[in-house]
Amino acid sequence: MTMKKEILKNNKTQPNLKDYAVACKEFRWEDAENELGLSTKDGINIATSAIDTHAASWRKNKVALYWEGADGGCKEYSFGDLQRESNRVGNMLRSLGVRKGDRVFVFLPRIPELFISIIGIAKIGAVAGPMFSAFGPEAIRDRLKDSGAKVLITDSSLRERVHQVWDELPDLKTVVVTRTVEGGGGGEKLWKREVRYEEEIEKESHHMTVEPMSLDDPFYMLYTSGTTGKPKGVVHVHHDMISHYITTKWVLDLQEEDVYWCSADPGWVTGTVYGLWGPWLNGISQVVFEGRYDAERWYAVMERHGVTVWYTAPTALRMLMRAGDGPVKKCDISALRYICSVGEPLNPEVIRWGMDVYGLCIHDTWWQTETGAIMITNYPSMPVRPGSMGRPFPGVKAAIIDAQGRELPPGSSGILALKPGWPSIMRSIWKDKERYDEYFKIPGWYTTGDTAHMDTDGYFWFIGRADDVIMTAGHRVGPFEVESALVEHRAVVEAGVIGKPDPDRGQIIKAFLVLREGFNPSDELKEDIKEFIKHRLSGHAYPKEIDFCESVPKTRSGKIMRRLLKARELGLPEGDLSTLED
Ligand code: WTA
């Protein structure tokens, strides 16, 4: 362990947030804005603040990105390198006709080009749409079509999935293809409107004029699931950077010498906000690991790069817990000094296990794609109550309310709501005002769709979702999208989808299917349907369990009663059945 890490680990360095109560009393968003040194009169840009400012300072040669490939190869990028490379991407996009406000989607594995592209897109004032590399053609089509994306950046291993749906995407002018890092067949013939990333970049200068933006201009959008309809495009603006900056500083407690690793992919909001912008706004070195979850490999990544702060998810932690002490004992991860978790309830059992194995308390954080930054959370300087999500970030007002918007007293269960006004709150749902307005139906509040309660000391405790949204392995899945994809299978006429509790993944997806005439239930058919969904939609959204049934319960107005499917599955009371069809 180096001297610096020892100092950090022994906590001789004070946490960035020293006193929660004082911070709440004195907090002003303007102070965070001033720390970032924004001068709105000349225009701002999140990429300038996250990259160029450091590249123009003594941090120029500081490592911004320690990248480790799935095959074990490593690369390092300084802030100066990221500036130059992202400038070239920005210039390339301008040459391809992309202008301020246009949507540019990115469909890449976690390779350096993914991060460089997102920064380059922000630099020209376009809107980046990161897509998870496990998405199938259907998921890709829905996002590119709805957003009207003009350019897509992908690689040779993924482009074929785009080809399958290109005909349905009239707005998509150009697809930029980079090779996979392993060299995965970059030599193949390109389609008419495909260009090669490396060739285009080569033509461009390392210098550029960054587009001056206002705080209210969008810079990224992410599609997320609700109970009904296709995934919705949550739009975020440059103003978000103030929330990114200060929450990263106070919650993840990142300090100059830290080596930070966020295990989330930028296709999910955690990876975009805390695996890219937040840490770089703070000038911190981050690790990106291209590969998938693997207990031994993850610890080896931490050892190799000397990770000091780690942001991960309960599912991963539960899997590591089940993997036992073996893998962790093989590696030296003694540099690790701080751990945070997000995405699902963090079981007290996992916190206790973390204390034993890592000698560190895992700090839970709560937020959503729509909130754009951590909202309710634990801090290094505040005692953790295992099972609680913690307390609201200074400057954020959270409450438990009833359907009329009245605040409920401590101990009462109700709707978890937030008072709008923090910088990173979403600014729209792309082309869907109605769905945006849904969040603000209770006057004065943003409603989260979660239910919770608050104790007398203001700690919040998660209860569940108020709707049918499924959280599986930290991923948010809407039952409707899965049902829609299921009924496209030739054997399926009707589908009802629920989340079923699972000890590792929080929930797994379970589907109840009615088969078309002429098809008989069989294990082979189940496997075929699972593969179909994995391929069409995404690896994380396929039903792990399938039951065939005669009918799916529906209301008289034709809505699938997922609540009833769930109650039957779990042997719970069936509740009010007055609206059931038969
Ligand atoms: C759930 C992820 C319990 C919650 C950043 C929320 C959590 C949804 C926690 C948002 C937590 C997130 N404890 N549940 N600490 N954090 N959730 O948009 O239901 O992918 O509404 O954002 O995840 O999921 P999303």
CATH number at residue 225: 3.40.50.12780
Q: How do residues 7-34 score in pLDDT, each as one tens digit?
A: 455 555 799 999 999 999 999 999 999 9
Token pair belonging to 179: 């090779």
Note whether residue 203 is domain-resident: yes
Give the DSSP letter of residue 518. Answer: T
Evaluate: CB of 479 within 6 angstroms of ligand 1. no
Note whether residue 267 is domain-resident: no
First to last CA, the chain: 68
Note whether residue 260 is domain-resident: no
Q: CB–CB of 513/489 below 8 Å?
A: no
Atom number in ligand 1 closest to CA 224: 18
Domain finish residue from 237, 261, 285: 237
Q: What is the CATH number of the domain that holds 493?
A: 3.30.300.30
At 436 the pLDDT is 97
Evaluate: CB of 315 within 6 angstroms of ligand 1. no
For residue 220, the SS3 value is strand
At what angle are helices 523-536 and 137-147 packed, to 10 degrees?
30
Which phi and psi angles does 128 have, rounded to 5°?
-85, 135
For residue 241, the SS3 value is helix
Token pair belonging to 417: 């709501």
At 582 the pLDDT is 57
Bridge partners (DSSP) listed for residue 196: 177
Domain count, the chain: 2
Note whether residue 326 is domain-resident: no
Closest CA to 426 of 388, 372, 384: 372
The domain of 122 spans 73-237
At 8 the pLDDT is 53
At 579 the pLDDT is 64
Note whether residue 192 is domain-resident: yes
Q: How do residues 313-358 score in pLDDT, each as one tens digit?
A: 998 998 999 898 899 999 999 999 999 999 988 989 999 999 999 9
For 449: left if phi > 0, alpha if psi spans -120 to 50, otherwise beta; the answer is left
Note whether residue 495 is domain-resident: yes
Note whether residue 341 is domain-resident: no
d(CA 568, CA 25): 48
At 228 the pLDDT is 76
Closest CA to 277 of 30, 48, 34: 48
Evaluate: CB of 468 within 6 angstroms of ligand 1. no
At 440 the pLDDT is 98
Evaluate: CB of 53 within 6 angstroms of ligand 1. no
Domain finish residue from 182, 205, 237: 237
Cα torsion at 303, 322, 539, 427 (round to 10°)? -70
389 CA from centroid of ligand 1 (Å): 10
Which residue reads 């285009």 in tokens? 200
The CA-atom distances, in angstroms, between 531 and each of 134, 338, 527 are 13, 39, 6
β-bridge pairing 338-342 and 309-312: parallel
Note whether residue 395 is domain-resident: no
Evaluate: CB of 449 within 6 angstroms of ligand 1. yes
220 CA from centroid of ligand 1 (Å): 19
Which residue reads 């937030």 in tokens? 418
Token pair belonging to 332: 């030296």
Question: Whose alpha carbon is nearest atom 24 of ligand 1?
Answer: 368
CA 234 to chain centre: 12
Evaluate: CB of 269 within 6 angstroms of ligand 1. yes
Could you say which residues of the chain have pLDDT below 70? Answer: 1-12, 180-187, 557, 576, 578-582
Domain finish residue from 222, 237, 252: 237
